[in-house]
Structure 1
């Protein structure tokens, strides 16, 4: 099937699987009619349901923020499995805003217009649709391969299941929800949310990483040969996060996993410093190209059960403070 919609003004949250439930302190009714339509009365849910049924959505007009957000994710928030599911195709004749495809795990985007950076969890391919640029999810390629597609500016080894991102484009949520044994190497800096909810993938950043690096990490490994931004390792469930230095607090609300930092890091509850083991020093040597003595100087952080009873307080300046519950 196909849904067509024409817009006379830019609209946010188009084809947004999250319906804005997680990332912003706003309310968006998924069954509300999308504004600025010409000749139709489609809702936000109509577009998502079409993609969930592997259909096509054709958009004429401009998409703003949260375009194709978490596309292809069967979200637990709505009673789903939290895993990837099949998704259809979006054709948009118009411009798309920054962070397109954040958290996207399946489906295909075709764009005829300008694309603002940073991108989300997507890479560009040689297009099979005239005048449109084609994009697929990094997670989809890692787990299901390229098929007949050909990357532009990057490399993928089917045999080694390794994707090398070397086009210099800033991306967020790289390898989001990846549940297969695969590797991503980012030659340069990554943007926010690297490794979000990844279960098995290894992501190596040969540069710095942005905010929320390793956020909600669920078994995967994220290695940063540089600095990480605020809230690294927040709400980690399992896995390993390794970096040289953190610019802000780490480990807020983490439930499991381990964080390793060459420099001492400031922690948010329940994260606390713990003892390094011999096999962990070996892992640091392998992943960080560190010498034996250098690897032993890394600091390890894990959740401290005594510090779990804290509440998250959002401050007016946008920061988050963890306060203990009496």
Structure 2
């Protein structure tokens, strides 16, 4: 499938359709604006990629190219699992947040790509004239194959990102037992929907760090942004301090903070156990006394509810609901 675009358009090949279940501004059946000789809809391009076919775009594209590419999204009636995806070729520049939440497929780009990037890494290209990018999740879960990382390294079950590029949604949906180490700051959504493994950020992290975390561990040797740990189901998130509120809607797992954090229900402060202190010492490389000063937050257990029952003798008995 080929199309020519006369000006940069956001959300092309975006599997979420710009989160249309919450925002009606963009619908799957909408025709992509500014096409020169075609009238493809947003859904047409996504459907083509889901078939494992390729999409060719002539011209510059805007923000959020290939958002959540390679995922069968639950919000749109899918399984939530990773699925095959084709390739996207862009004969032009690409805006920021390309590949956010991307789990499969490849991007081939002739021009520049703006930061922050999403869950993608550059590898040596097998097609002349194009830079090639693959999903971090795909690389870790399925291997590099014949590709070679550019500016980063993967060795002994550890992926080290030290190229200085700002990225978001690192490790999205990752189900891999190894470790990701980032030497520097990261953008939003680190470890979103991750199932196992460890991500260590030797810097600060943005909003939604560890949101929807479903296993594994995220370690931030700095600060995290708003809504971190939101809707966690399992796993552990640890950091120095946070902006805004953490733990909104969390169902399981644990959040640790060196500085007191503001929480959203049902997250609540709980007591540290020996295994918590050992975990803090190991991940944050702190002493025992310092580790004991951390706060732990978990979903607050629902308190037992009672109702008044008036007895015939005039007495009142409290009965559990």
Fold match, TM over 0.5? Answer: yes
* Pairing of 1:234-313 with structure 2 (within 5 A): 234-306=230-302
Any unmatched runs of 5+ in structure 1? 308-326
The Cα RMSD (Å) is: 1.4
Alpha-carbon distance change, 205 to 23 in structure 1, aligned in 2, over 3 angstroms: farther
Aligned equivalents of 1:200, 1:83: Cα separation in 2: 15
TM-superposed deviation, 1:228: 0.8
Any unmatched runs of 5+ in structure 2? 304-321
Once the two structures are superposed, residues 98-121 of structure 1 have per-residue CA deviations (whole angstroms, 9 ceiling, x without a partner) of 100000011000001121100000
Q: Does 1:30 align with 2:28?
A: yes
Residue of structure 2 in register with 1:323 after alignment: none
* Pairing of 1:1-326 with structure 2 (within 5 A): 3-21=1-19, 25-157=23-155, 160-306=156-302
Greater mean deviation of Cα atoms: 21-30 or 180-189: 21-30
Larger radius of gyration, structure 1 or 2?
A: 2
Aligned equivalents of 1:150, 1:88: Cα separation in 2: 20
Aligned equivalents of 1:252, 1:95: Cα separation in 2: 37
Alpha-carbon distance change, 168 to 24 in structure 1, aligned in 2, over 3 angstroms: farther
TM-superposed deviation, 1:22: 6.3
**Is the 2:68–2:100 contact (alpha carbons within 8 Å) kept by the matching residues of 1?**
yes
**Is the 1:175–1:201 contact (alpha carbons within 8 Å) kept by the matching residues of 2?**
no
DSSP-derived class of the 2:144 partner:
coil
Aligned equivalents of 1:144, 1:161: Cα separation in 2: 13
Residue of structure 1 in register with 2:314 after alignment: none
Greater mean deviation of Cα atoms: 23-32 or 136-145: 23-32
- Scaled by the length of structure 2, the TM-score of the pair is 0.91
- Number of residue equivalences: 303
